[in-house]
Amino acid sequence: MLHLSCMEKSFLWGAATSAHQVEGNNTHNDWWAWEQQTAGIKCSGRASDHYHRFKEDFALARSLGHNAHRLSLEWSRIEPERGQLYQPALAHYREVLEELKRQRLTSFVTLHHFTNPLWLAEAGGWERRESVELFANYVKMVVENLGDLVDFWVTINEPVVYALEAYWHKRWPPQKRSAPAVWQVVRHMAAAHRRAYQIIHRAWVGARVGLAKHLIAYSAKQTFKDYWFNHYFFTLVGEKQDFIGVNYYFADQDKLGGGPKSDIGWPIYPAGLTQVLLYMKRYKLPIYITENGLADVRDSQRADFIRDHLRAVEAAQAQGVDVRGYLHWSLLDSFEWDKGFEPRFGLIEVDRATMERRIRPSAYVYKAIIESAKSQ
């Protein structure tokens, strides 16, 4: 049994999802449009039908011992046309966030997780400076209508990954390759984060605002990559964050020998989590792990993965890193972007034909770890 001695009683335990990956029928965003038009790309369709089954899904999370949950709001549902607030979408998200409260799940609410309203994409997306103000308007709508229900705000998910995938590797819409575009997108997203930080804090004194940053463990000689990929965005954000959200999946190839891999070939390297947490120590802020997980359809590696990564969290805590929560990616099997539905990241399996949920054995191992940590 895993003995976790460093976790405080208040430690947050849970899992994460994002709107486009689980809700289904997000027909007003750029991903949806791109899926329909692009050969060889799966359509998200009903995704995991979480839009209709969120109550059941939160109840399952609660039954698995979770006390926190991360989800994202779909901007294109809230503002399907520029400047037009769609009340039924806000009413829906109010119900969702109220349900989290009812289930006693602390909420981490992401405002942007890779998708954009189609109208924004058509107007040039994040390459244009105007995106900062447009995002700020959306944040205002959310803050005014739902702010009372949010515990932790995650403004933007993985801005650097988004910029590289969409504007360099050409894997995500709008499939461009342009170094100036990458810089613009990153800088605009940082400005958007800073604006959002101000807006939220003005409305809610004591709000906790951060972002979810993908971090990679590098070998000691990769100082430039470490700076550019892991730290540059934080230099743009400055003091405007109340916590650090860490998404950790793997280390740089340079660091790795052979070692086990997930179903999609991502190397499994728990020690890298300790390393990236130590990278974050310099910011002197509380840290929440906002994503960590693997594609494992047979569920043969997930339990060990969770155990080993939590040991890695403890190793960082023992070295003075202030880690206060762990959110596994993901609660559910979901739409894995350009990779479609094949990679299975869920603690809970989703039957694609019936949408039936089945709890994977590793989810019970995670539950036992949570319970034993809480009882110490």
* The one among 23, 158, 296, 314 contacting ligand BGC by CB under 6 A: 158
Asked if residue 291 binds ligand BGC (CB under 6 A), the reply is yes
> Taking the complex as a whole, how short is the minimal distance between the CB of residue 317 and ligand BGC, in angstroms?
24
Q: How many residues bind ligand BGC (CB under 6 A)?
A: 11
The full DSSP string for 148-195 is: GG-SEEEEEE-HHHHHHHHHTS--STT----HHHHHHHHHHHHHHHHH
Residues in the chain: 376
Q: Map the footprint of ligand BGC across residues 215-274, applying CB under 6 A.
A: 247
Asked if residue 157 binds ligand BGC (CB under 6 A), the reply is yes
**Residues paired with residue 349 on neighbouring β-strands, in sequence order:** 358
User: Segment near ligand BGC (CB under 6 A), from 128-136, 153-161, 273-281, 363-371?
Assistant: 153-161
Q: How far is CA 64 from CA 188, 347, 364, 370, in A?
A: 39, 10, 7, 9
The answer to whether 42 and 50 are in contact (CB under 8 A) is: no
Asked if residue 214 binds ligand BGC (CB under 6 A), the reply is yes
Identify which of residues 18 and 155 has a Cβ nearer to ligand BGC in the complex: 18
Number of neighbours of residue 122 by Cβ within 10 angstroms = 13
Phi, then psi, of 345 in degrees rounded to 5: -100, 0
* The one among 7, 18, 200, 373 contacting ligand BGC by CB under 6 A: 18
Identify which of residues 79 and 291 has a Cβ nearer to ligand BGC in the complex: 291
Which regions of the chain does DSSP assign to beta strands (E)? 12-16, 68-72, 106-112, 152-157, 208-217, 244-251, 287-291, 323-329, 348-350, 357-359
Asked if residue 44 binds ligand BGC (CB under 6 A), the reply is no
> Taking the complex as a whole, how short is the minimal distance between the CB of residue 211 and ligand BGC, in angstroms?
12
User: Segment near ligand BGC (CB under 6 A), from 85-93, 130-138, 157-165, 192-200?
Assistant: 157-165
Interface residues with ligand BGC (CB under 6 A) are 18, 21, 157-158, 161, 214, 247, 291, 329, 336, 345
